[in-house]
A and B are shown apart, each in its own frame.
Chain A
Amino acid sequence: MHLLHYLKDHLLLLDGGLGTLLQERGLLPGELPEEWNLSHPECIREIHTAYFDAGSNVVNLNTFGANRLKYTPEQLDAVIGAAVRIGREAIAASRGEQPKWLALDIGPTGRMLKPFGDLDFEDAVSIFAETVRIGVRHGVDLILIETMNDSYETKAALLAAKENSDLPVFVSNAYGEDGKLMTGATPAAMVALLEGMGADAIGVNCSQGPAALAGVVEEYLRLSSLPVLFKPNAGLPRTVDGKTVFDVSPEDFSGEVTRLIERGVRIAGGCCGTTPTYLSALSKRASARSPLPVTEKHRTAVSSYARAVTFGDTPILIGERINPTGKKRFQEALRRADMDYILREGLSQEEKGVHVLDVNVGLPDIAEKEMLCRAVTELQAVTSLPLQIDTADPEAMEAALRLYNGKAMINSVNGKRESMEAVFPLAKKYGGVVVALTLDENGIPARAEERLSIARRILACAEEYGLSKEDLLFDPLALTVSTDPTAARETLRAVELIRLELGCHTSLGVSNVSFGLPARDLINGTFFAMALERGLSAAILNPYSEEMQKTYAAFCALSGLDANCASYIAFASSRQASTAVAPARAPAAGPDLAEEGESSLRRAIRKGLREQAAGLTAELLQSVPPLAVIEQEIIPALDAVGVGFEQKTVYLPQLLMSAEAAKGAFEAVKAAMPDVGGATRAPIVLATVKGDIHDIGKNIVKLLLENYGFAVTDLGRDVPPERILEETLRQNAPIVGLSALMTTTVPAMEETVKLLHEKAPHCRVMVGGAVLNPDYAKAIGADRYAKDAMEAVRCAEELERVCHTTSCATENS
Chain B
Amino acid sequence: MMDARVEVRTYGEIFPTRAEILRYAGLGRGKEADAQTQALLDKALSLSRGALCGRVCFSYLPLSRKEGGLDLGFALTDSTDLARALDGCDRILLLAATVGVELDRLILRESRKSMAMGLLLGAIGTAAVEDVCDRFCQETGEALALTGLCLSPRFSPGYGDLPLALQREIFAYLDCPRRIGLTLGESLLMTPAKSVTAIAGIRATN
From B25, B35, B113, B191, contact of A117 by CB (8 A): B191
The CA-CA distance from A119 to B185 in the complex, in Å, is: 8
Q: Looking at the complex, which of A86-94, A193-201, A540-548, A696-704 is the stretch in contact with chain B?
A: A696-704
A22 cross-chain contacts in B, Cβ below 8 A: 1
A112 cross-chain contacts in B, Cβ below 8 A: 101, 183, 185, 191
A364 cross-chain contacts in B, Cβ below 8 A: none
A590 cross-chain contacts in B, Cβ below 8 A: 35
What is the distance, in angstroms, from B165's C-beta to the closest C-beta of chain A? 8
The CA-CA distance from A22 to B158 in the complex, in Å, is: 33
B178 cross-chain contacts in A, Cβ below 8 A: 108, 110, 147, 149, 174, 206
Q: Is B67 an interface residue (CB 8 A)?
A: no
> A674-703 toward B: CB 8 Å interface, digit per residue (1/0)?
000000000000000001111010011001
Report yes or no: B115 in contact with A699, Cβ–Cβ below 8 A.
yes
Q: Looking at the complex, which of B76-84, B117-125, B143-151, B196-204 is the stretch in contact with chain A?
A: B117-125
B115 cross-chain contacts in A, Cβ below 8 A: 656, 659-660, 696, 699-700, 703
Report yes or no: B173 in contact with A30, Cβ–Cβ below 8 A.
yes
Closest to A696 in B: B122
Q: Looking at the complex, which of A132-140, A231-239, A513-521 is the stretch in contact with chain B?
A: A231-239
> B135-169 toward A: CB 8 Å interface, digit per residue (1/0)?
00000000000000000000000100000100001
Q: Looking at the complex, which of A327-335, A449-457, A645-653, A759-767 is the stretch in contact with chain B?
A: A645-653
What is the distance, in angstroms, from A381's C-beta to the closest C-beta of chain B? 6
What is the distance, in angstroms, from A407's C-beta to the closest C-beta of chain B? 19
The CA-CA distance from A244 to B173 in the complex, in Å, is: 16
The CA-CA distance from A741 to B102 in the complex, in Å, is: 21
Closest to B74 in A: A30
Given A111-B183, A653-B119, A693 contacting B191 (CB threshold 8 A): yes
Report yes or no: B109 in contact with A383, Cβ–Cβ below 8 A.
yes
Interface size on B, residues (CB 8 A): 62
Given A18-B1, A237-B7, A692-B189, A30 contacting B172 (CB threshold 8 A): yes
- Size class of the A contact interface (CB-based, 8 Å): 35 or more
The CA-CA distance from A18 to B2 in the complex, in Å, is: 10
> A217-259 toward B: CB 8 Å interface, digit per residue (1/0)?
0000000000000000100011100001110000000000000
The CA-CA distance from A382 to B33 in the complex, in Å, is: 29
From A115, A244, A383, contact of B5 by CB (8 A): A244
Report yes or no: A117 in contact with B74, Cβ–Cβ below 8 A.
no
> A726-758 toward B: CB 8 Å interface, digit per residue (1/0)?
000000000000000111110010000000000
The CA-CA distance from A504 to B186 in the complex, in Å, is: 48
What is the distance, in angstroms, from B34's C-beta to the closest C-beta of chain A? 6
Given A110-B183, A340-B112, A382 contacting B105 (CB threshold 8 A): yes
Report yes or no: A648 in contact with B109, Cβ–Cβ below 8 A.
no
From B37, B164, B184, contact of A654 by CB (8 A): B37
Closest to B187 in A: A691
Q: Is A365 an interface residue (CB 8 A)?
A: no
A700 cross-chain contacts in B, Cβ below 8 A: 115, 119
Report yes or no: B107 in contact with A653, Cβ–Cβ below 8 A.
no
B74, B107, B114, B164: most-surrounded residue (chain A CB, <10 A): B114
B102 cross-chain contacts in A, Cβ below 8 A: 183-184
A178 cross-chain contacts in B, Cβ below 8 A: 53
Report yes or no: B107 in contact with A696, Cβ–Cβ below 8 A.
yes
Given A20-B1, A112-B101, A177-B10, A653 contacting B112 (CB threshold 8 A): no
Q: Total contacts A to B, CB within 8 angstroms?
A: 195
Which of A615-657 touch B at CB < 8 Å?
648, 651-654, 656-657
Report yes or no: B109 in contact with A118, Cβ–Cβ below 8 A.
no
Q: Is A64 an interface residue (CB 8 A)?
A: yes
Report yes or no: B187 in contact with A381, Cβ–Cβ below 8 A.
no
Given A343-B112, A743-B164, A592 contacting B34 (CB threshold 8 A): yes
Report yes or no: B186 in contact with A116, Cβ–Cβ below 8 A.
no
B185 cross-chain contacts in A, Cβ below 8 A: 111-112, 117-119, 691, 693
Q: Is B130 an interface residue (CB 8 A)?
A: no
Report yes or no: A33 in contact with B189, Cβ–Cβ below 8 A.
no
Report yes or no: B1 in contact with A272, Cβ–Cβ below 8 A.
yes
Q: Is B68 an interface residue (CB 8 A)?
A: no
B173 cross-chain contacts in A, Cβ below 8 A: 29-30
Q: Is B62 an interface residue (CB 8 A)?
A: no
What is the distance, in angstroms, from A9's C-beta to the closest C-beta of chain B? 32
A174 cross-chain contacts in B, Cβ below 8 A: 178
Q: Is A312 an interface residue (CB 8 A)?
A: no
The CA-CA distance from A555 to B107 in the complex, in Å, is: 36
Given A653-B33, A743-B158, A118 contacting B187 (CB threshold 8 A): yes
The CA-CA distance from A659 to B119 in the complex, in Å, is: 13
Report yes or no: B191 in contact with A653, Cβ–Cβ below 8 A.
no
Report yes or no: B34 in contact with A660, Cβ–Cβ below 8 A.
no
B26 cross-chain contacts in A, Cβ below 8 A: 651-653
Report yes or no: A653 in contact with B3, Cβ–Cβ below 8 A.
no
The CA-CA distance from A653 to B158 in the complex, in Å, is: 27
Q: Is A182 an interface residue (CB 8 A)?
A: yes
The CA-CA distance from A184 to B118 in the complex, in Å, is: 21
The CA-CA distance from A592 to B39 in the complex, in Å, is: 14
Report yes or no: A653 in contact with B101, Cβ–Cβ below 8 A.
no
The CA-CA distance from A239 to B10 in the complex, in Å, is: 18
Which of B22-45 touch A at CB < 8 Å?
22, 25-28, 31, 33-37, 40
> A297-330 toward B: CB 8 Å interface, digit per residue (1/0)?
0000000000000000000000000000000000
Q: Is A469 an interface residue (CB 8 A)?
A: no
Report yes or no: A183 in contact with B112, Cβ–Cβ below 8 A.
no
A653 cross-chain contacts in B, Cβ below 8 A: 22, 25-27, 33, 37, 40, 116, 119-120
What is the distance, in angstroms, from A121's C-beta to the closest C-beta of chain B? 15
Given A29-B175, A383-B109, A696-B118, A116 contacting B181 (CB threshold 8 A): no
A117 cross-chain contacts in B, Cβ below 8 A: 183, 185, 191
What is the distance, in angstroms, from A309's C-beta to the closest C-beta of chain B? 19
Closest to B180 in A: A182
Closest to B167 in A: A744
Report yes or no: A691 in contact with B186, Cβ–Cβ below 8 A.
yes
The CA-CA distance from A437 to B172 in the complex, in Å, is: 53
Given contact pairs A653-B22, A743-B164, a sample of 18 additional A-B residue pairs in the complex whose CB atoms are under 8 Å apart: A29-B173, A29-B175, A30-B169, A116-B108, A118-B187, A184-B105, A237-B7, A246-B4, A383-B109, A608-B116, A651-B28, A654-B36, A660-B116, A696-B118, A703-B115, A744-B164, A744-B189, A745-B187
Q: What are 19 residue pairs bridging A and B, where the CB atoms are less than 8 Å apart in the complex?
A: A20-B4, A29-B174, A111-B183, A111-B185, A149-B178, A238-B4, A239-B5, A244-B5, A273-B2, A347-B112, A381-B108, A591-B35, A607-B36, A651-B28, A652-B25, A652-B26, A656-B116, A660-B115, A741-B189
Lowest 4 CB-CB distances: which A-B pairs, in order? A19-B1, A652-B26, A244-B4, A182-B181
